[in-house]
Chains A and B, each alone.
Chain A
Amino acid sequence: GEDVEQSLFLSVREGDSSVINCTYTDSSSTYLYWYKQEPGAGLQLLTYIFSNMDMKQDQRLTVLLNKKDKHLSLRIADTQTGDSAIYFCAEEGSSASKIIFGSGTRLSIRP
Chain B
Amino acid sequence: DAGVIQSPRHEVTEMGQEVTLRCKPISGHDYLFWYRQTMMRGLELLIYFNNNVPIDDSGMPEDRFSAKMPNASFSTLKIQPSEPRDSAVYFCASRQGNEQFFGPGTRLTVL
Could you list which residues of chain A lie within 8 angstroms of chain B, going by C-beta atoms?
30-31, 33, 35, 41-45, 48, 88, 92, 97-99, 101, 103-104
A98 touches B43 (CB 8 A): no
Known: A42-B91, A103-B42, A104-B42. A97 touches B101 (CB 8 A): no
Pick from B45, B102, B103: contact of A98, CB below 8 A.
Answer: B45
Tell me if B87 counts as interface (CB < 8 A to partner A).
no
B42 touches A97 (CB 8 A): no
A45 touches B56 (CB 8 A): no
A98 touches B33 (CB 8 A): yes
B42 touches A42 (CB 8 A): no
B98 touches A31 (CB 8 A): yes
10 pairs, CB–CB < 8 Å, chain A vs chain B: A30-B98, A31-B98, A42-B103, A43-B43, A48-B98, A48-B99, A92-B98, A98-B33, A98-B45, A101-B42
Q: How many residues of B contact A (CB 8 A)?
A: 21
Q: Apart from A30-B98, A42-B105, A97-B50, what 8 extra A-B contacts exist at CB < 8 Å?
A: A45-B100, A97-B31, A97-B55, A98-B33, A98-B45, A98-B56, A101-B42, A103-B43
List residues of chain B with CB within 8 A of the CB of A35: 102
The residue of chain A having its C-beta at the shortest distance from the C-beta of B104 within the complex is A42
The residue of chain A having its C-beta at the shortest distance from the C-beta of B6 within the complex is A42
Give 1 or 0 for each of B78-111: 1 = CB within 8 Å of chain A CB. Answer: 0000000000000101010011111111000000
The residue of chain A having its C-beta at the shortest distance from the C-beta of B45 within the complex is A98
B102 touches A43 (CB 8 A): yes
B101 touches A45 (CB 8 A): yes
The residue of chain A having its C-beta at the shortest distance from the C-beta of B105 within the complex is A42
The 5 A-B residue pairs with the shortest CB-CB distance in the complex, in nearest-first order = A42-B102, A43-B102, A103-B42, A31-B98, A42-B104
